[in-house]
Amino acid sequence: MNKSYQFRIYPNKNQEVKLNRTLSTCRHLYNDSLAERKRESELNKLERDFGIIPWGKPEWINYYDQADELTAAKTAYQKEVFSQVLQNVLKRVDRSFKNFYRGFGYPRFQGRNRYNSFTYPQSGFGIEDDKLILSKIGSIRIILHREIEGKIKTCTIKKDIDQWYVTFSCEIDKPILLVEIRTETGIDVGLKSLLTMSNGEQIEPPEFLRESEDKLKQEQKRLSRKKKRSHNKNHQRIIVAKVHRKIRNQRKDFAHKTSRILVETYDHIVFEDLQIRNMVQNHCLAKSISDAGWSQLIGFTKAKAECAGKVVELVKPRNTSQNCSSCGNSVPKDLSVRVHICPFCGLEMDRDHNAAINILKISIYTAGTAGINACQGTQRSIDAAGSSPPFRGE
Ligand SMILES: [Zn+2]
């Protein structure tokens, strides 16, 4: 089982210069290697189309070629960076090509603001007391606010505007005892950052998150009014980036808290598979944006459930908001209709609540009886949870 831990680190001025220089060296290597592979693939295409083998090199260049090249001829800048960190950059290029072959976008050149991390994949780092020791950089002050479990595999340093973080990816080998499934819930994740469970309980995101989102809109508007390429515009851009960061952190916090509550309360948790949902209804932009935050929540819930021996299931979305959770008939309604009223069986309930029940019904673990139980006054879920809403409006 893998688990990752993130901590903030506090480099001094001198160390920050080195960190920035390492990032820049890595970024240049990334872009150069990407350019080389791009060139090679174009030559390769030439050969395929016209039957010529230019410069007698018919093969594709791969990670190993580039790694050999790197060891053979390092620039002065590259010599200042721990060698495995550089190799990891080549690995990243390689991975981006592999992703491309799997159907993702073509690898992109990385600008200064985009390329923001580097990784020690095996060694070259360590922790001593309250210091993170990085080879070729120094020992940086770190605040370890939680204990690290398991064996640290990789160490990634990340820059976030004016702050620095380290992420340790750890391997924990402790046996996981599977829990017998006694409690379960289906969860509908809504457009307005609202979470509805199949027992009708809802979890709302904290108020301050909404306040930050309003502030972001404000600052973005201000940014769009600034003159192009002006000093003011640059300054405003940093302000916007910082608000973004604040929201990101608040969302993450919310996702951690919520997922903890879910996993503590339920043994079996069912969500809709958002990737499929996006493919089906990608015309709704707002929905796919809000889904980005939900993916994080689902990811955290999965990770925590795995540790606890519980089950998170992702089901294919199947008209969960349209169908009646009691009689199964289709009751079409657009997004503005908030209440599900069934003309066939008379069921009347909140739209999201109806969807959440349907999501639980699709679950393969409970197919059949669970659905019927869930509709009949949601008795089953209430018995299972037996609690008041976890932290509505906190
Ligand atoms: Zn009905």
Residue 387, pLDDT > 60, answer: no
Position 263 scores a pLDDT of: 95
Q: How far apart are CA 352 and CA 347, in angstroms?
A: 14
Give the residue, 375 or 11, on which the prediction is more confident: 11
Write the single-letter amino acid at 183. T
383 confidence band (pLDDT: 50, 70, 90): very low
Q: CB-side exposure of 118: number of CA atoms within 13 Å?
A: 28
Expressed in angstroms and rounded, the spacing between residue 354 Cα and the centre of ligand 1 is: 10
Write the single-letter amino acid at 5. Y
Expressed in angstroms and rounded, the spacing between residue 315 Cα and the centre of ligand 1 is: 22
pTM of the model: 0.73
Expressed in angstroms and rounded, the spacing between residue 379 Cα and the centre of ligand 1 is: 17
DSSP-assigned states of every residue in 359-371:
HHHH-SSSTTHHH
Order of strands across the sheet with 138-142?
A: 117-120, 151-160, 163-171, 2-10, 138-142, 131-134, 125-128
Is there a contact between 137 and 179 (Cβ–Cβ < 8 Å)?
Answer: no
Measured over the CA atoms of residue 106, residue 110, residue 113 and residue 114, the dihedral's sign is: positive
Expressed in angstroms and rounded, the spacing between residue 367 Cα and the centre of ligand 1 is: 18
* pLDDT tens digits along 284-328: 555 555 666 788 899 999 989 988 889 999 988 888 889 999 999
Position 278 scores a pLDDT of: 62
Is there a contact between 132 and 139 (Cβ–Cβ < 8 Å)?
Answer: yes
Write the single-letter amino acid at 52. I
* pLDDT tens digits along 237-290: 999 999 989 888 888 898 999 999 999 999 999 998 877 666 555 555 555 556
Residue 372, pLDDT > 60, answer: no
| DSSP 8-state secondary structure symbol assigned to residue 330 | B
184 confidence band (pLDDT: 50, 70, 90): very high
The SS3 of residue 180 is: coil
* pLDDT tens digits along 129-160: 899 999 999 999 999 988 998 899 999 999 99
Q: How far apart are CA 178 and CA 267, in angstroms?
A: 10
Position 357 scores a pLDDT of: 95
Mean pLDDT is highest, among 81-85, 97-101, 334-338, for 81-85
Q: How far apart are CA 347 and CA 381, in angstroms?
A: 18
